Chains A and B, each alone.
Chain A
């Protein structure tokens, strides 16, 4: 069983979007297509599957086990779906039917596609789910009641139940935190080791590293290089490949802390909670001038609530929050948000938004242009609305907005998790340098452990109740039980 693609191109209205792309994938050796958003990665999967949206045209050859499938009539092509070739969707919690129980979504593939009778189909589905570590409770639940990782496993079972041994996984880890990303990688790894043919499409180098096999680097629809994973990920030849690999937080240099200054914001045994429910308890630490603290932990632990508490947006449920020195000024604690476009007024131009800020706080007229120049931002950007500016630029604009108020502490909530790796690298570097110049403390919340380890001087792992070092005193934080 082999999947072979030759000279594949996808175009619309005469404009080429992807290609030419060619590769062969054998059982047991996956191909990882690596590239940033908008590089046309998903189009390759759709072209192989034969499910491109109307208006997009594919050319080239796609062969399954030596037989051309791209020229098949539509009905015959669709007959391969589920039986020979399957797709693992992005964000499976949206791809599963929200109204149907998980078991039925797997069982119906056995029944409707593989032709089993329904009783048998349900038995098989139950076994499939159990095999993936999903018990009777998860089987009886609906997708909305599952975590992202569990939903991905249900989708995997549903997609492959009719015997497809060729799997196209399209951004299978999108929106998942480190631990769940590793779960999905293990799931795919197991499929490959069982003799499956796998193409994984991702922007995450960690997924590529975990899966092994071959890697293809794609940019603007063009293949830059292809080769064994070990070689490409350690010694890429193309400029973009090098940038991509260097941008992987695993390859960042460690930040060496300069001497931390006086404390600006201190938490004394605070309990963080939202809506009357305690999330994190017994946290004691101090944010010092020029210090960086990285906060990691799985989703849903209360990382954002911790930042909101420090910013004064919600009250701590117990304990004290103290501001010292520069931290005592009003507006001394500022925040950077995860989704840059969501942090600006969407319908006003950036110029209007900065003008409001300057007027309100009596800033000197040159302050904003000077800051923008310092952060490498073109002045023309101001004429646009937030949606017309790239995520990386917008996050730097958000930083400029925050720096204009000379903050003592900057709380950054996953500021780069929506950015592609190269941009992430740049933005994190800019945040670090600018904060250092301004003498501001930074608390960075991230789901990426490697990034936190290298970018911040100190790491506070909320999951492991960890205690860390210089500039911070952390008492063992406990996961408070629901009040």
Chain B
């Protein structure tokens, strides 16, 4: 496979992949690594990292920061993936319909999409979660609602150009039905950009979720990275580690997903790199 070997030759993408593998391992092994609830007080408050038996120290209530990070990983990944999936579920059909049918349908869908792009997305997410009350479903819903417009724009653009492609015209002339054309001729050819976009969207969703939790809009029953950073804020002068390590975890996760996304993109579209002039 050509694309695969190009991906394997990309150092950044491999580092990203390695980080994601570590993250997934942590999620899978969480019940074994830290079988106890991360909410439990296990030591003296604000214990420094490596001081005593806690690798990353303890927080203001004596909870193990490392345990929180390990359990938070699951929440971050879960929300990232589910909300991205939900956003794709909204965005892909809308984009496909707008791009394929054009005309008034396209106009209507794009006005609607532009409207959602104009709204400051983080502010809308805050309002949604605040009004629906913070919980896992409301957070996923809010992130999905603010993340679908770029998907629609991407898919619409792709479909718009694919639909004038001659093989699609040929499918019309041989009498294939419209849904069949969309599903067999058009959408499979948009798969590559969707995969790239999805990996970047998971990263953005994780950032968004952590920002919401930081403001206190996380699910109150779940230990999340954003919540940990926010909770450590007030004691940042004497216990920097409480906020530092969860933030680092967010950073590494988001970075890894971006590296992988870009790696896939470069592997699938080698043209851009080759045509670079001096």
Q: Judge: A and B partners, yes or no.
A: no
